[in-house]
Structures are given as C-alpha cells and as structure tokens.
Amino acid sequence: MWCSSGRFHRHHGHGHGHHNHDHGQGHGHGQDSRNNHDQDDDHRYDGHGQLDHVISGYDMMVSKDGRGNYTRVSEAIENAPNMSLTFYNIYIKEGTYEENLYIHRTKTNIRLFGDGAHRTIIFGNRTNNETNGPTIEIHGERFQAANMSFVNDAGLTAGQANAVRNVANNTIFYGCSIEGYQDTLYVVRGSQRYENCEIYGTVDFIYGNAAATFLDCEIYARHRGIVTYTAQGRERPIDRSGFLFQRCNFTMSPADYGRKSDVKATFGRPWRAYSLVLIIESYIDSMVDPIGWLEFPDQPTDKLTYVEYGNVGPGSNTDGRVKWPGVKAFHHLPELLLFLSEDYPWISLSHNITWNLN
C-alpha cells in the first residue's frame, strides 16, 4: 500500500541505529524440554519464507536476568542439537547481548526470535580484520531470525565490519534490523531472503554473490559524503545469483535524515563482472544521484545487468542513468517479464520475487 508521499507503509518501527575498499572472501546448563511462551508478535515461517502461524513455544530461552535457560545467546546455540531436521526455536528476551555469534554448519534449522527489532539486540564492534569479526556469521542451512537487531558499531572510519555474514543456504530474516557502516551485510552465497527488515550502512553495505531477495525493506544510508548501497559479486554468466529489491525504500536513516542534502548515494557498483541487481516497485529518495551506479576498480561495466521497474520518488527518474549496455529501465511489466524469461529464466516475478536454483 502507498501512503501519500509515495513511500510504502511499514509495520515495523524505524530505529536510529548505533552509532579505500577491497572486499575479501568471507572467511548455565540448558534444559531440553519445550517451554511454553505465548507472544503474539513472534513469527514462524514455512520452508518458502512465508509466515505460517505464531510461535506458541520455544526450545530454549535466553534472558539477561537469569530467568531463562541461558544468559548468553552463544551458549544456547552451542547446546542446540546438531544436524536437526526440524526447527529449533531459541527465544531471546529483550536486552542488549554483547556477543559475536557463530552458527556452525552442523547447526541446521536454528531459529532465533526476539521481542522486536531495537528491543532484542545482538551487539558487536569488531572489524573484519579481527578474530570473529562479524556480529553474527551463519553457516548452518535453513537459519532463520525474526524480530531482533544485529549491530556492528565499529564506526564510520573503521573499514570493513560485517554485522551479518551469511554463508548458508535457504536462510530468512524477518522484521530484523541489520546495522553497520561499511560492508554491513555480506550475503556470501545460496538462497537468502530478507523481509520487513531495516539495513543500515555507508559503503557497499549489501554485498556478496548470493541469490538474495529483499522484500518491503528499509535500505538506510547513513551520513557520509558518498554512499553505495550494494556491491553485487556475480562472477560468471551461469551463476544463478543476484540481488532483487521489491517494495523497498532507498532513503536516509532516520537519525541522519535532516542531513540528506550532504549525501550523494548510488544504488551500487559491480564487485564482479556479471553483477546483477533488480530494483522493482520501490521508493527512491532524492539523495540518489541521477547516474544511479558507479564503477568498481578493475571491473568492467559491459557485462553487468542493472534493472529498474515501477519505482517512484524524487530519485526514480532514470533519464540520467549511466549509459552502460546492461543498465535498463522497464516501463511495462510484459517487457520486464520477457527480458527475465529470455536472459534470467531462473527468476520468477509474481507477487513476490522468487528464485529457481535447481
């Protein structure tokens, strides 16, 4: 649904965050019994990333006040079953947990859910050059997170510092806030979905080579002279990967909105030659430069694909976009669908964008 300004309605709150580039490849006792915990805002998902019903219980509870199974999230993850075939629900009560989490590949079907973005917060401040740098690093397939924040507060001048490094396949984030500066969200590979999320950053802050879908998300630039939202890393024409944004807002963070005129933002730049990004039915704010896209050092601009369709807002006019051969603006849905069916048949555009990676 549209509101009068052309921006999409959101059902989650707006957070204010916590206050030279070369990407490297990403490198107490618990109780086992199920506990009862009714909470109307905790969501559960089916295998396709859709909400199915409200969680009515959890397997482990983490609480800073000592009333749960653990006081640290990392302890709950360590004591979750290995290679689980069903979801293992870890409820994290409201609070700020200063931890760096690692989801090992043997920790499959882990689901973390909190009391709300900006209420349940996983907080780190390490750079990618430090041991266990990301605030959370995920290798376990079918990981899910809902209603919580992942923050890397290394700072504006710290360089590369992941809040989330996601290496796993079939993962979902819903109603989460992912906050950082440079390289906030590293979507390394696999199928990944981010819905009703907020993502904050400054330089290439959504990057990687996953098949990553962003639905109804706030893509928040923080205050910096030059901002690049994405750096997509598709390396080969046969790679079924790329970034797809639908019904998102490309704008300034609430805390920095008053300084919007100081910022020149672009949608991104090609980290690898066959970079693929689609921006569909989204709001583009005024600080997005008319050129739309920037070059990446030592990467060509004649093999990438950057698509816009059905966008609105003061930055949505495509007349001034860079004239690279793969930069395309579609004004009619049948044209877009024909283009996708011919060149990217693994992308299915319907009510929500989906990938066919088989």
Catalytically active residues, by annotation: 183, 204
Q: Which residues pair with 194 in a beta bridge?
A: 173, 214
Decide if 186 contacts 207 (C-beta within 8 A).
yes
Return the DSSP state at 257: G
DSSP string, 151-172: EE---TTS----SEEE--SSEE
- CA 218 – CA 8 distance, rounded (Å): 10
Q: Is there a contact between 223 and 258 (Cβ–Cβ < 8 Å)? A: no
For residue 217, which of 168, 184, 263 has the smallest C-alpha distance? 184
- Phi then psi dihedrals of residue 348, to 5 deg: -110, 120
Parallel, antiparallel or unpaired: strands 226-232 and 276-280: unpaired
- Residue 19, class by beta-carbon neighbours within 10 Å (0-12 exposed, 13-18 middle, 19+ buried)? exposed
In contact, 231 and 209? CB cutoff 8 Å: no
Helix (H) or strand (E) holding 51: strand 51-54
Q: How many CB atoms are located within 10 Å of the residue 225 CB?
A: 8
Phi, psi of 258, rounded to the nearest 5 degrees: -70, -15
Neighbours of 150 (CB within 10 A): 27
